[in-house]
Amino acid sequence: MTQMVRMTEKSKATIRLATRGSKLALTQTQRVADAITRVRPDLEVELVTVTTAPDVHLDRPVTEFGNKGAFVFDLEDAIREGKADAAVHSMKDVPGDIPEDMAIVAVAERVDPRDALVSRTGKSLENLPPGAHIGTSSVRRAGQLLRLRPDLNIRSMRGNVDSRLRRLREGGFDGIIVAAAGMERLGISMDISENFSPEKMVPAAGQGMLCVEAPVDSKFSQLWSAIDIADESICAAAERAFIRVLGADCHSAAGCLCTLKGDRVVINGMVCSPDGKRFEAVEVSGKREEAEKLAEQAAEDILKRGGEEILRAPAQ
C-alpha cells in the first residue's frame, strides 16, 4: 500500500521518495528531502509511503520475510512500478548485494552510529538487576549483551521506536536496545540510559546512515552526486564490504564500524554467537583510500579464525 504526501508547491518539477511509514522513517526521509531542496530548490519533493510486510506482521520474525532486505523489497517494487523515483533507507537495513537494476546512489547523512540502552529506571547496563529482561530482536545486539552480562534474559521485541518505548513503559522489560541515531533524529536522546562504545558493542554496518537507492539509469544522477557525502560513502562501502565478504546480512551477529581520522581509516569488525560465548573481533587501520580493501581483509581474517562457524551457530 502506498500513500503520497505532497511537500511543496505543485508548480515545481517533482521527485518522489519512497519511505516506510513510521515516524522515524518519515523523519529520516524528510531530512533527505531537505538535502535535495537545498541543492535543487526548483524541485518539489513527494514522500511516497510504502507499507512493508515486516511492518504489518510484527508478531513474526523478520527472517520469515527473507534473509536479506526485508525492509527494502517493497520500496524497490514501488520504484519499479513507477510510484517513486528513489527510496530512502537506513543503510543498516540494506543487504550487501542489491538487485542489478538498483544502486546505492547517495549516502546523505550519518549521525551517532552507536547502540544505546533505554532502561525503565534510567540505570546503565552494569547497574541493572541480575536477570534483567532486555528487549531486542537483533542477534548481533543479543550476543554482545550476553557477552557483557551472561545473566541477562534477552526477549524478542520488534516494532518502531515509539512502540518499543511504549512497551518498555508498560512493564515486562527492564530495558531495550535501540540505535542512538534513531533516538537523536526523533529528538529523544535524553531518554537514553547508556550509549555503548564500539569497544563494548560493535554497531551494525551502516548504522546511523541514511542512503538513497535508485535505478541504475536514474535521471537524477547529478542530484544524487550533489547530496552524497564523500566521507560517509567511503565508510558505507567499507562496512558493507566487511559484511559481504563474511557472507552475513542485517540479521547476522556481525558488526562493523569504519572511522575516518584525517587521511587514515580504522576498521573495527566482529562476529559472535547468539549466546555471546564465541566472539571474534578485528581492528585494522590504513590509508583512507584503501578503506574497502582493508575491510575485506578484516573479514577474511575473521573467517580464518572460525568466523563462518560462529555465524552459523543457532540461536538459543
Query: Of the residues 20, 40, 114, 158, which is catalytic?
Result: 158
Task: Specify whether 140 is catalytic.
Answer: yes
Name beta bridge partners: 19: 49
Position 61: which residue type?
P
DSSP 222-278: HHHHHH--HHHHHHHHHHHHHHHHHT--TTSSEEEEEEEETTEEEEEEEEE-TTSSS
Beta strand 194-195 with 175-179 is unpaired
Task: Specify whether 287 is catalytic.
Answer: no
Element (H, E) at 25: helix 23-39
Task: Specify whether 240 is catalytic.
Answer: no
Query: Of the residues 40, 147, 240, 250, which is catalytic?
Result: 250
Residue where the block lists cell 540479521 = 251
Query: Of the residues 110, 120, 140, 240, which is catalytic?
Result: 140
Query: Of the residues 40, 114, 141, 147, which is catalytic?
Result: 141
- Of 198, 165, 173, the C-alpha closest to 283 is 198
Task: Specify whether 141 is catalytic.
Answer: yes
Residue where the block lists cell 544502486 = 103
Strand order across the 175-179 sheet: 153-155, 133-135, 175-179, 115-119, 194-195
Query: Of the residues 16, 68, 92, 120, which is catalytic?
Result: 92
Query: Of the residues 93, 112, 228, 249, which is catalytic?
Result: 93
Query: Of the residues 147, 164, 240, 278, which is catalytic?
Result: 164
| Burial annotation 142-158 (CB, 10 A radius, 16+ → b, else e) | bbbbbbebeebebeebb
Task: Specify whether 12 is catalytic.
Answer: no
Query: How far is it, in rounded angstroms, from Cα 66 to Cα 130?
Result: 35
Catalytic residues: 92-93, 140-141, 158, 164, 250
